[in-house]
Copies of this chain bind each other. A is one copy, B any other.
Amino acid sequence: MSDEVTAALIIIGNEVLSGRTQDANLHYIAKALVDCGIRLREVRVVADDEAAIIKAVNELRALHRYVFTTGGIGPTHDDITNECVARAFGVPLRRDPRAVERLLRQIKPENLNEARLRMATLPEGCELIDNPVSHAPGYILGNVYVLAGVPRIMQAMFDGLKAGLIGGARILSLSVTLYGSEGLIAAQLAAIQAGHPELEIGSYPFTRDGVYGTAIVIRGIDRAALDTAGGEVREMARQLGIRAESENGA
């Protein structure tokens, strides 16, 4: 899968690192990127710390086609994403009239104070991302997509920009649930993986009502190869006397 399109996600916020907030954005973006044929390769959760944010942005934008960030674009002192993205790219921040116009859809002119105007103070050269929930926009600079941290707003932003993302072949998956433990199947499963280097075969143990099981998840872009490998997993189960249930995924 050398022509795969990859992405990274940077979750910005002390509240996730302190355990105050349970992040919900990773899971949403991970699933949405699968639909786009984009492979999420790395996620970093970093503090509201200028050096940490700049380092993550610059390291990851050099490695991946797409970088998404969530959090830190509000009006308060702890919202420093805009400054950090501008510094990472070496461009100035400036008051963006298009963003001011959008803020005025939500905020009365007499209430548009300096703090709120920070939400319209964006890196030069960025393209705005629509925020249908509260209007303060996200933006795209180079290959970095800057999104809100509040899940409802992040999701609305992401849903709006999703059609414009250019992925590779859609990543398909096939799951086989085996009612036997991982240790029993590991050797044969490794052989099946070795026979299909173009596929990614994952093994995830579970217990359900006291019964040990293993979910085998096969991922790849070729439906025929997936079906072949799935057949091999079911045949392995049959030989080992393990009950198996298959399910086609996205």
Q: Which residues of A contact B (CB under 8 A)?
A: 11, 14-23, 26-27, 30-34, 39-48, 52, 74-79, 107, 111, 113-116, 118, 150, 171, 173, 182-187, 189-190, 193-194, 200-205, 217, 219
Q: Which listed residue, B19, B114, B182, B202, touches A14 by the CB 8 Å rule?
A: B202
A17 and B45 contact, Cβ closer than 8 Å, known pairs A74-B182, A77-B193, A114-B187 = no
Is A204 within 8 A of B46, CB to CB?
A: no
A191 to chain B, nearest CB (A): 9
Chain B residues with CB below 8 A from A34, complex form: 18-19
A190 contact from B33, B46, B76, Cβ within 8 A? B76
Residues of chain B lying within 8 A (CB to CB) of residue A45: 26, 42-44
Separation of A113 and B181 alpha carbons in the complex (Å) = 12
Q: Which B residues are in CB contact (< 8 Å) with A42?
A: 17, 44-47, 52
Contact of A40 among B18, B23, B190 (CB under 8 A): B18
Q: List 21 A-B contacts (CB under 8 A).
A: A17-B30, A18-B40, A18-B173, A18-B219, A19-B32, A19-B34, A20-B202, A22-B27, A26-B45, A42-B44, A42-B47, A74-B203, A75-B183, A76-B185, A76-B189, A77-B190, A78-B201, A78-B202, A111-B183, A114-B187, A115-B187
Residues in B with CB closer than 8 Å to A205 are 74, 150
Interface centre among A40, A107, A186, A193 (most CB of B within 10 A): A186
B30 and A18 contacting across the interface, CB-CB below 8 Å: yes
Chain B residue contacts of A189, Cβ below 8 A: 76-77
Nearest CB of B to A183, in Å: 4
Given known pairs A14-B200, A15-B202, A44-B42, the reply for A186 and B30 (CB within 8 Å) is: no
List B contacts of A39 (CB < 8 A): 17
Q: How far is the CA of A78 from the CA of B194 in the complex (A)?
A: 11
CB distance from A203 to the nearest CB of B (A): 4
The smallest beta-carbon distance between A9 and chain B, in angstroms, is 8
The residue in chain B whose Cβ has the minimal distance to the Cβ of A117 is B183
Which are the 8 A-B pairs with shortest beta-carbon distances? A115-B186, A19-B30, A19-B31, A43-B45, A77-B190, A76-B203, A116-B183, A22-B27
